[in-house]
Amino acid sequence: MSIDTSKVATSNSSAAVAKKPGRAGVVANWADERLGLATAMKKNLRKVFPDHWSFMLGEIALWSFVVLLLSGVFLTLWFNPSMGEIHYEGSYDQLRGVAMSEAYASSLELSFDVRGGLLMRQMHHWAAMLFIASMMIHLLRVFFTGAHRKPREMNWVIGCLLLILGTLEGFTGYSLPDDLLSGTGVRAADGFMKSIPVIGTYMSFFLFGGEFPGDAIIPRLYTIHILLIPGLLLALIAAHMLLLVYHKHTQWPGPGRTEQNVVGFPMLPVYAAKAGGFFFIVFGVSALMGGLLTINPVWKFGPYDPTKVTAGSQPDWYMGWPDGALRIMPGWESEFWGTTWSWNVFLPIIVLPGLMFTILLLLPFLEAWITGDKREHHLLQRPRNAPTRTALMVALMTFYGLMWAAGGNDIIAIKLHLSINQITYFMRAAVFLGPVLAFMITRRWCISLQRQDNEKLLHGYETGVIMRSPEGGYSERHLPIDTAKAYALTARDRDEASYVPVGTGGGTDANGIPAPVGRMSGLRGKLQTLWFADNVQKPTAAELEEAHHHAEHEAHELEGVSTDGHQLDGHHAVADEPLRRDH
Amino acid sequence: MTDARDHESHENDPHEGESSQNLPDNPAGSAGAVPESAEPIADPGLPAHAWRPADVDPAHEKRAERQVAGMFGLSAVCVILFLVAYFTLDIGDDHDTVGGLGASTVALGTTFGLALLLIGIGIIQWARKLMGDHEISELRHPARSSDDDRKATLAALNAGLEESGIGRRPLVRNSLLGAVGLLGLPAVVLLRDLGPLPGDVEDDQEYPGAGLERTVWTKGMRVVRDVVGTPIRAADLEIGDLVNAVPEAFFEVDEEGEHLIEGIELQIAKSKAAVIVVRMEPDEIIPGDGRDNWSVDGVLCYSKICTHVGCPISLYERTTHHVLCPCHQSTFDLADSARVVFGPAARPLPQLPLAVDDEGYLVATSDFLEPVGPSYWERG
Ligand code: HEM
Ligand code: FES
């Protein structure tokens, strides 16, 4: 390169200039003599963090949690978590004189009589949406790229706990204002609890301090919302970050990036600046949303009244999928010996979410058990390179999506002019068939993408240039992809080599000891076979050699063509360039 | 997380010069178990560092510097505008001047948001354009501790346990375990007063209609219109009408004009006693067993509380006599004892038996004969 690097910017070249210890030095010395900071920070200040856009998803979750803490504390200064009845006398005309709880009245006060109060309420609610949505997408990123594998399983578990706690935190939060919409949600929650066999009625009476609605639920939800769950979230987030630092972040494979190293920018300054800057961006976006986009206009719903309901009552979107399950469930109920089993409520709203959450929590362990893979993994996988895993998650997503859509069956019915009965019957079948279909399609799709990758490696990429052979046949000109790209494509494990077949009759484990053949290991062997079935492996060195040899031969035949690949790679206009040079 | 083994890490010193910067740690780039020979392409190593315009061109550098400082400056301007908006714009009276939101909310949100965004974008621009951009590489270590560490830890643990004598003194150990285990009991028992037991609520009758199996309806209580409280004559209703109604008790006052049921007691009472009153052609009614005289001139009364999870039902279609619950679309046929015709609810809406009093107004002849609202374990 002909760049004059003698003049490079100071930040990129000059060594740190030793200065006399100034005031900062004195303070640092004071602190270090007491806290030993230098030793603690020595390694971490320049800790390496790899860069990729998808690594920001977790960061959005982290920063929106900070925004929630800040805006939440502001709200507590005015919000009054009491169900005591008062007559509203604030600025909002339409409700003046109406009897309501103090909780609802103080939400109105925050909205209409505290400057910036509505901004903070809306920021808080939007940040909650960001928090939960980014956690979900972050979880998908982790799973699709295989970042949940050893040694990071515990961080997966913590992440799942964060997601469920975040959801509960959101539910308790939007129940606080005690408006008609949220009261309807609490009413439903009472029905959910009562459906639990044996203890349900007691749970309801203990939570509500007697019969629904009582006067205890809002203060109790308040304690849960501002103390209990935030405390748990904070502790879990701290554990999540500590483990992240300990394991060091995963990275995408590429030239110089291996299982043994981590390549990227140092914590100080680049990563700290980018992450810190990103905090301000998340904060700023929440503020803009809070200022410009109405969310949860509680004043329009009115105070909670058990005899009233707003048409099209919908919970916050993240509670939508169990609501969908609840809607499409047939109305089954049985009575035995004077007891009532409300299958129609208990199964979709208590059992199903519990089951789904357990499956989510166990996914890394399930996968490791099936594949028998006990190695540490620090290089990410492209989703296509783990077709069964990818398909499994897409199937789960499809299930989630269909349930979520079922939660809006009334809206779909109105918008599409369909009968709600037809939608319900359709959904009942779709939630079972859809995931299976999605699984099969995704798996095949991944495998064909794997083939395409191998094509690229073996025969290069399609240039779009059509050649005519002397015999009159047409063919497309392929050019080899560059080494860095090719290397990245091949930097993945071969599936067969990565696991030890277990229990498939006379197999041996890693130590050469015959593997036990039991019923479980038989099942496991079958699952293992299915897990890897039809996966496409990267070419061997010999295959690549052979293919390149062939390509050279072909190139030879087309002698005379401009062989500067870049002319043909589609990034340059070739229209005016003579393809054949005149000899 | 300051791990002694981190000392091995060979973070490249960015000042050492280009060449060392780009050496891969492991030129074969192998992935653990796979033999290197099987790798089709050898790891080409980290690509060379490319200088950015701002690294080599002072003019570029200056421009980037000005951009970043400019953003920080603009952010400060936004904060000033925020203060101006806070002190000048009214809230309360004009809370929907801009797109349904108050001018104050919009102005505060915009200025605050921009102030934050400009700082964030400025810092990131600084990092991208002006901060050193050498990628560095650090070695990883297995998450597990080294065998030596494991041994040392086990030895320390064993020494500690040995000295405590916990293994040798099962009496001490077991009595401690028992005592600590029992501490769980206070933790659980202390929660007992979170709420009364369902049966106690029913027995104590601390407020009218207390208990899951009761409501405030009693024999002879008038059925009155919701909100206004006027009693209803059968003749007031047209065929096909549906009115929301409540027990007259909700509107009763004592000598001082105080409501007899108010506040939380009223909320509890409402959550069980709200009803709907419909009128249809008497011959359209399919009377349930023993319900032949529960209606008055085609007027029927049902609980308004959905038997699914308790939403108040609301939408009535007069031609089919179906009511729909807006929460999960359970549909009940009011002509046929409120049988469930569609949706997730399992039980019909409880029916309130009606009669007329001396003045011709609709009254209940008793409380509901079954619990209203969602099913529960003890309901039977
Ligand atoms: C960590 C996750 C959190 C989530 C997901 C969350 C979510 C929510 C939601 C959705 C609301 C309803 C907002 C509305 O009125 O539209 C709410 C209300 C509220 N939150 Fe949070 N919140 C969180 C943390 C906190 C914290 C840490 C505090 C206080 C320390 C807090 C204090 C409040 C208060 C006082 C309200 C009631 C304000 C009102 O609606 O008038 N929240 N929360
Ligand atoms: S509450 Fe009525 S259908 Fe669910």
Whether A565 shows a pLDDT value over 70: the answer reads: no
Last residue of a domain, one of A324, A345, A378: A378
Is A445 inside any structural domain?
A: no
Of B51, B138, B311, the CB nearest to A309: B311
Asked if residue A30 and residue A130 are part of one domain, the reply reads no
pLDDT of residue B15: 39
Asked if residue B369 and residue B265 are part of one domain, the reply reads yes
CA A564 to chain centre: 43
Q: Give the residue with greater pLDDT, B227 vs A1.
A: B227
Using a CB–CB cutoff of 8 Å, tell me whether A334 touches chain B: no
pLDDT of residue B2: 40
Asked if residue B229 and residue B367 are part of one domain, the reply reads yes
Say how many domains are in chain B.
Answer: 2
pLDDT of residue A9: 54
Asked if residue A129 and residue A19 are part of one domain, the reply reads no
Q: What's the CATH number where B319 sits?
A: 2.102.10.10
pLDDT digits (tens, 9 = 90+) for A281-323: 999 999 999 999 999 999 999 999 999 987 667 788 999 999 9
Asked if residue A112 and residue A197 are part of one domain, the reply reads yes
pLDDT of residue A554: 66
Whether A547 shows a pLDDT value over 90: the answer reads: no
Is B67 inside any structural domain?
A: yes
Asked if residue B228 and residue B357 are part of one domain, the reply reads yes
Is A196 inside any structural domain?
A: yes
Q: How far is the CA of A171 from the centre of ligand 1 (A)?
A: 9
- What residues contact B260, with CB distance under 8 A and at least 6 apart? B208, B249, B252, B253, B254
Asked if residue A166 and residue A23 are part of one domain, the reply reads no
Asked if residue A28 and residue A168 are part of one domain, the reply reads no
Asked if residue A71 and residue A16 are part of one domain, the reply reads no
* Closest Cα in chain A, distance from residue B351 (Å): 17
Asked if residue B232 and residue B122 are part of one domain, the reply reads no
Q: How far is the CA of B315 from the centre of ligand 2 (A)?
A: 12
pLDDT of residue B8: 37
Please report how the helices A117-144 and B103-129 are oriented relative to each other, as an axis angle in degrees rounded to 10. 40
Is A455 inside any structural domain?
A: no
Q: What average pLDDT does this structure show over A363-383?
A: 94
Token pair listed for A264: 């990227």
Q: Report the mean per-residue pLDDT for chain B.
A: 88
State the residue for tokens 């904070």.
Answer: A234
Is B310 inside any structural domain?
A: yes
Last residue of a domain, one of A354, A378, A402: A378
Tell me which DSSP letter residue A580 carries. B
Asked if residue A62 and residue A36 are part of one domain, the reply reads no
Whether A57 shows a pLDDT value over 50: the answer reads: yes
Last residue of a domain, one of B129, B150, B173: B129
Q: B315-317 and B322-324: which strand pairing? A: antiparallel
Last residue of a domain, one of A341, A358, A378: A378
Is B189 inside any structural domain?
A: no
Is B38 inside any structural domain?
A: no
Ligand nearest to the CA of B375: 2
Q: How far is the CA of A234 from the centre of ligand 1 (A)?
A: 15
- Which chain B residue lies closest to A305 (C-alpha atoms)? B267
d(CA B247, CA B311): 19
Say how many domains are in chain A.
Answer: 2
Is B320 inside any structural domain?
A: yes
Picking from A67, A52, A234, A64, the residue whose alpha carbon sits closest to that of residue A142 is: A52
Positive or negative, the CA dihedral B248, B254, B256, B259 is negative
Is A530 inside any structural domain?
A: no
Instruction: Check CB contact under 8 Å for A118 and B91.
Output: yes
Is A222 inside any structural domain?
A: yes
Residue type, A241: M
pLDDT digits (tens, 9 = 90+) for B43-80: 999 988 889 999 899 999 999 999 999 999 999 999 99
Whether B301 shows a pLDDT value over 80: the answer reads: yes
Asked if residue A234 and residue A201 are part of one domain, the reply reads yes
Domain extent, residue B277, equals 223-379
| DSSP H or E run through A467 | strand A461-468
Is A165 inside any structural domain?
A: yes
Percent of chain B, pLDDT > 70?
90
Last residue of a domain, one of B129, B149, B180: B129
Of A307, A323, A330, the CB nearest to B244: A307
- What residues contact A242, with CB distance under 8 A and at least 6 apart? B1
Please report how the helices B58-88 and B103-129 are oriented relative to each other, as an axis angle in degrees rounded to 10. 160
pLDDT of residue A518: 66
> Does ligand 2 come within 6 angstroms of the Cβ of B330?
yes
**φ, ψ of residue A493 in degrees (nearest 5):** -75, 150
pLDDT bucket at A517, cuts 50 / 70 / 90: low
Span of A36-50, A335-349, A499-513 with lowest mean pLDDT: A499-513
Domain extent, residue A175, equals 57-81+107-378
Last residue of a domain, one of B129, B163, B187: B129
Is A402 inside any structural domain?
A: no
Whether A341 shows a pLDDT value over 90: the answer reads: yes
Chain A CB contacts of B140 below 8 Å = 248, 259-262, 378
Whether A400 shows a pLDDT value over 80: the answer reads: yes
pLDDT digits (tens, 9 = 90+) for B8-19: 334 443 333 333
Is A302 inside any structural domain?
A: yes
Instruction: Check CB contact under 8 Å for B91 and A332.
Output: no
Asked if residue A370 and residue A339 are part of one domain, the reply reads yes
pLDDT bucket at B6, cuts 50 / 70 / 90: very low
Is B236 inside any structural domain?
A: yes
Q: How far is the CA of B140 from the centre of ligand 1 (A)?
A: 40
pLDDT bucket at B332, cuts 50 / 70 / 90: very high
Is B296 inside any structural domain?
A: yes
pLDDT bucket at A552, cuts 50 / 70 / 90: confident
Asked if residue A317 and residue A244 are part of one domain, the reply reads yes
Q: What's the CATH number where A228 sits?
A: 1.20.810.10
Is B210 inside any structural domain?
A: no
Asked if residue A132 and residue A38 are part of one domain, the reply reads no
Percent of chain B, pLDDT > 90?
73
pLDDT of residue B22: 39
Using a CB–CB cutoff of 8 Å, tell me whether B27 touches chain A: no
Whether B28 shows a pLDDT value over 80: the answer reads: no
Asked if residue A360 and residue A269 are part of one domain, the reply reads yes
Instruction: Check CB contact under 8 Å for B109 and A85.
Output: no
